[in-house]
Chains A and B, each alone.
Chain A
Amino acid sequence: MLEEIKLRLETSVPGCHPEIILNGSPSEQHSLLLDSAHAVDAATFLRDDAELRLDYCSNVTGVDWLQTETSHGYLEAVYHLYSMEKKHGPVVVRLRTENRTDRIHLPSLTPVWRSAEFQEREVFDLYGIIFDGHPDLRRILMWDEFEDHPMRKDYVEPDDYEYEPTAHDDVLTKAKQHAPQQQPE
């Protein structure tokens, strides 16, 4: 089914070349990668097309791909789309940023599906992807003065392991840094 969607997107939205990303797990839930320039047009087509009618965006999450030898690392926003009218789905759509550090802008799909509004705020809060065109992009789960993006793989959490009575493994190493304050059991 994703091949058909890809063909129809290529014909209907000029310039859009979606890619199918294969999912290696037994669930075989393959996803469609869209590029940032044509994302809003492609999303509008997916929502309004007579056969697809994917009018319900149920979930928006983010993925943090760290830098490896082959790629320079990027952030992704993943959208799960269902169709309430035709009762099919899910169709998984991905949008990818170019970089993990400074080029982290993506177009917001809130004008297409209103239910993505809070979810994109959550992705911004936890991953740091900035959505252009989002009406109200602020932090939603953490407080406004918070400065990190916690779900990134290189996030270091604050050190409040002063008192750990049953510490083991890495918690023990963290607790030992406060050792002068805590007498050994």
Chain B
Amino acid sequence: MTSTTTTPLEEQMHEELIAPGGQDELLEIALGPHHPSTHGVFRMDVVLDGERVVKLKPVFGYLHRNHEKIAESASYLASMPYTDRLDYICSLSNNWAYALAVEKLAGLQVQSEPSTYA
């Protein structure tokens, strides 16, 4: 699917991904999806020079929970709880972003001061 001639950007990125062999031995390790240092499930293929990380290739998708596909068949209000679980550490900011998006899409004017109920 890619052409045989490489663009300069492709060459640069290929260079970055291939470890420079030669003087030191570099160790390539997969810090797999279950590791105390990975927050959540996130895999990193690291190339190490001693203790120093020289290159890193992240692999993710271990928590792909297809919120978009679910939102295709749910109403706007029904996909609100799913946005909580997008980034579960700061759930309210996801809720707020979604609410802002829906309000903009529907052209709703929401008053910012709290209303007083008699």
Contact = CB atoms under 8 A, between A and B. Distances in A.
| A contacts B: CB pair < 8 Å | yes
Interface of A: 25-27, 110-111, 130, 132-137, 139-143, 150-151
A27 B13 contact: no
Interface in B1-31: 1-3, 7, 9-10, 13-14, 17
A25 B106 CA distance: 7
A25 B107 contact: yes
Contacts of B105: 25-27
A140 B106 contact: no
Contacts of B1: 130, 132, 137
Given A135-B13, A140-B60, A151-B69, 8 more contacts: A132-B3, A133-B2, A135-B7, A135-B10, A140-B61, A141-B61, A150-B66, A151-B68
Contacts of B69: 150-151
A18 B14 CA distance: 33
A165 B13 CA distance: 50
A86 B64 CA distance: 35
Nearest to B73: A170
Contacts of B68: 151
Contacts of A134: 2
B24 to A, nearest CB: 25
B7 to A, nearest CB: 6
A143 B69 CA distance: 18
